[in-house]
Chain A
Amino acid sequence: MAPPLLIGNGAGFSGDRLDAAEPVARTLIARGGKAAMTFETLAERTLALGVLARETDPDAGYEPALAPLLRPVLGLCLDAGIPIIGNFGAANPRGAAAAIVRLAAELGLAPPRIVVLEGDDVRDVLDDPRIAWEGGARPARPIIAANAYLGAFPIAEALRAGAEIVVTGRIADPALALGPLIAHFGWGEHDLDALAAGTLAGHLLECGAQVTGGYFGDPGVKDVPAPEAIGFPIAEVTADGTITVTKADTPGGLVDRRSVTEQILYEVHDPAAYLTPDVTLDITGVTVAETARDTVVLRGTRGQARPPTLKATISTEGGYLGEGEISYAGPNALARARLAASTLRARVANLPVRLRIDLLGLQAVFDSDDGARGGPLGPDGEVRVRLAALADDRATAEAAAREVLSLYCCGPAGGGGVRTSVTRRVATTSALIPRDLVHPRVAMVSP
């Protein structure tokens, strides 16, 4: 029977800590044995942002932080024979591969063997009448990006072909870990319980620190050691589908029944039928046991046949969001903030926008940088008025946000700290695509 495979995760989203991956790689190397490393950096709308970036720069469109993410671990992993699998290709996997080749050269490393996984872009097949659209119909607004969630088998194919780095675009997040498990254990499409265990392992890893004490701390209830230095997760998976969750050797974070259980159910709907491209995962029989400090063992994962369709995320133009904020503090602050809010409502009433006005906060502008003053709350505390206005065009969103700025001279007494912004928005919806319309393909692009 094949020995276990260790899988570490170095990023849980685009924007994650850039110093998290290196301790994971070093821990994998210290433990020895076969290992792989994953990076998940692609949220629902991130890919559309990559498409937009590529409009102005054809070489862009992949994870903007790719080089700082990989720089600390690239040499370590290549030397140790630990393959790296990441969806940091986003809208331009070949661009990401080229960037990794440049990074390797900069670090004095030989060009790594890089495979790109493509075929997730389904913009060309959206007219097919068999596609089932969320909400019953194709969106009316212009489509920016449409990408199917690909499965793990092409990743396994790439690794078997000798890839040291696999760069993907849209892919089911757990597939980043399931791919190397399939390659390592030789699992087939009908090994459903094994595929389910690999999928659960990938699901636990995909959000990085969320299983090791990140997004978890609640003082006095759920305390997390050294939250500034959380060790990112490492899962050991055996041939029989037993998953052992641990973390990188850093002073911070924790792995216990609570942190693991929260992540098991993260973004899950029906726990008996979590749909992925490779298997339908059933977690209702899973048991969770703490076997040592920062060590949790999961058993009992079951798999059913994969769904007949692939999910795709479709991103469309979403208009422009204008925002503005202003603070009021001290005597009668709440009343002045409410006066500002009603003034804004009247001023924006004639603009074609969807409007929301918040009264934020308990303390901010009165305090020192180190927060020495603290509260007071209530009507004489400190309130920040926030306007948010969604419009079809940038000029209208700017006009709404400008109404907050003009409160400096026209609004209630003592308003300060105005910030305004206008953001282009991308809306997303989903669709179920017949598998015969989607053609995943792998290509060795380096050396």
Chain B
Amino acid sequence: MITVPLHAIAHARTGDKGNRLNVAVIAHHPDVWDVLVEQVTEERVAALLAHRRPSAVRRYLLPNLYALNLVIDDVLEGGVNAALNLDGHGKTLSFLVLTLPVTVAEDVLATVRTTLDARAHRP
């Protein structure tokens, strides 16, 4: 087993509404779906964003899409129209979530890497 940033096995996108942030985390390969379910938990995401004091983290699973949706309340320090942060939308926070360390079997990681490389060299 090897520990890597979540960025090695998943991609993500944030959206904001008011002071609520959502981060969709999507597996790069079906073989890492279980890793997302087991390791990208509400508790770990809340801890990762503790400095922004989330009032709640709710996780929704979408196995059809190999995706999970994290809904994180009150981390935008007022939201885009009240925050002092340069990124008041919290748009960059998807990549903070992608720093979460996850532990993956080495052969599974190799499978993900092969998939990404195949995508990277489209004819």
Contact = CB atoms under 8 A, between A and B. Distances in A.
Interface of A: 44-45, 134, 215, 218, 220-223, 225, 254, 256, 258, 261-272, 283-288, 300, 318, 321, 354-356, 358, 360, 386, 388-390, 425-430
A143 to B, nearest CB: 14
B36 interface: no
B71 interface: yes
Contact of A271 (B7, B60, B78): B60
Given A269-B22, A427-B81, A261 B86 contact: no
Interface string B1-44: 00000010001110111101010101010000000000000000
Contacts, number: 108
Interface in B87-123: 116, 119-120, 122
A285 B13 contact: no
A267 B64 contact: no
Nearest to A430: B18
B82 A265 contact: no
A330 to B, nearest CB: 24
B13 A266 contact: yes
Contacts of B64: 284-288, 300
Contacts of A355: 84
Contact of B81 (A225, A265, A318, A354): A318
Contact residues of B: prevailing secondary structure:
mixed
A261 B24 contact: yes
Interface string B66-85: 11010100000011111011
A354 B84 contact: yes
A108 to B, nearest CB: 41
Given A134-B18, A271-B60, A428-B18, A265 B84 contact: no
Contacts of B71: 269-270
Contact residues of A: prevailing secondary structure:
mixed
A221 B81 contact: no
> Which interface class (under 10, 10 to 19, 20 to 34, 35 or more) fits B?
20 to 34
Contact of B11 (A222, A266, A389): A222
Contacts of A425: 81-82
Contact of B67 (A222, A265, A426): A265
A318 B119 contact: no
Q: Give the 6 A-B CB pairs with smallest separation, nearest first.
A: A267-B15, A265-B24, A356-B84, A262-B13, A388-B84, A266-B15
Nearest to B79: A428
A222 B119 contact: yes
Contacts of A256: 119
Contacts of B18: 44, 134, 428-430
Interface of B: 7, 11-13, 15-18, 20, 22, 24, 26, 28, 60, 62, 64-67, 69, 71, 78-82, 84-86, 116, 119-120, 122
B32 to A, nearest CB: 14
B118 to A, nearest CB: 11
A271 B62 contact: yes
Given A266-B15, A270-B71, 17 more contacts: A44-B17, A44-B80, A220-B116, A221-B116, A222-B119, A261-B66, A263-B13, A264-B24, A264-B67, A265-B15, A266-B22, A269-B22, A269-B69, A271-B60, A358-B86, A388-B85, A428-B81
Among B7, B15, B84, chain A packs the most CB atoms within 10 A around the CB of B84
A389 B80 CA distance: 15
A80 to B, nearest CB: 31
13 contacts: A215-B13, A221-B7, A261-B65, A264-B65, A265-B26, A265-B65, A265-B69, A266-B15, A270-B60, A321-B84, A390-B84, A427-B81, A428-B18
B4 to A, nearest CB: 13
A413 to B, nearest CB: 26
Contacts of B60: 270-272
Contacts of A287: 64
A268 B116 contact: no
Nearest to A300: B64
A426 B81 contact: yes
Contacts of B15: 265-268
Among A225, A262, A390, A426, chain B packs the most CB atoms within 10 A around the CB of A262
Nearest to A260: B65
A232 B110 CA distance: 33
A389 B84 CA distance: 7
